[in-house]
Amino acid sequence: MKILITGSSGGIGFAAAEELVRLGHSVLLTGRKQETLSASAGRLNSLAFCGDLSKTESVNRLYGFCNEQDFIPEAVVHTVGGTVNNDRHPLNTGTLEESMRLNLYSAAELNNLLIPLMQQNSGGRIIHISSQAAKDGNASPAYAIAKGALNIYIRNSARFYAQDNIMICGIMPGILDHEGSAWHQKSTENPKKYEERKSRQPLGRFLKPQDISGLIGFLATDRSMAYTGTIFDINGGE
């Protein structure tokens, strides 16, 4: 299978790419930093596209790149997302708009381009990485709101495209600790808070990208439509 993974130069995206390559699939990685992306793509001998997918222009360029490379995705894994600057109360609507672009609009725009190709090919798989914050709101406000909106988008679009054999689902990870993550940064900036929060985890640790990548690998390649509209809650028992 040909599988596009956004935001995949590191973190969950790269772990998912490693898993899918291990299973024998071809992957296309994307990232914003050319040096990091090239190194990650080189490790997997995969195609790579550099661009900021929170911008419509980059989404359109990625679509063009897929066509130029004859890499028409049979599955898409959306891992682009995160917290934007100034994400705090009182919440500025400009900040909220920026967060929505990063965490929802970019994925929706790319889906709008790729779904017609999936319809022509009699099906496809689309997986979105959401967040526990979508459920409990325990995060920066714009981030939590955007991920909540993403969950509704997943459920709503899954209903609409089920008739086309397109499975759309989501994964809500708990706290993830990997290089570049917010909690990895807290381990040095606020180690007391980091250790206190980690001590409350049933596993005795935070989740790693590899705790999620196996599920992504399964969902991206399994042909069952039964998972459409499902948002998997992966929290390590918390």
Predicted confidence (pLDDT) per residue in 166-215, tens digit: 999 999 998 888 777 676 677 777 888 888 888 888 888 888 999 999 99
Q: What is the pLDDT of residues 116-175, one digit of tens each?
A: 999 999 999 999 999 999 999 999 999 999 999 999 999 999 999 999 999 999 999 988
Maximum separation of any 2 CA atoms in the chain, in Å: 53
The strand pairing partners of 125, in sequence order, are 75, 167
Q: How far is Cα 112 from Cα 144, in angstroms, rounded to an integer?
A: 24
Q: How far is Cα 134 from Cα 155, in angstroms, rounded to an integer?
A: 13
Say which CATH class 2-176+210-234 falls into: alpha beta
- 137, 144 contact by CB (below 8 A): yes
pTM flag (> 0.75): yes
Instruction: Identify which of 53, 52, 32, 27 has the alpha carbon closest to the alpha carbon of residue 42.
Output: 27
Q: How far is Cα 24 from Cα 68, in angstroms, rounded to an integer?
A: 23
Tokens 């206190």 — which residue?
196
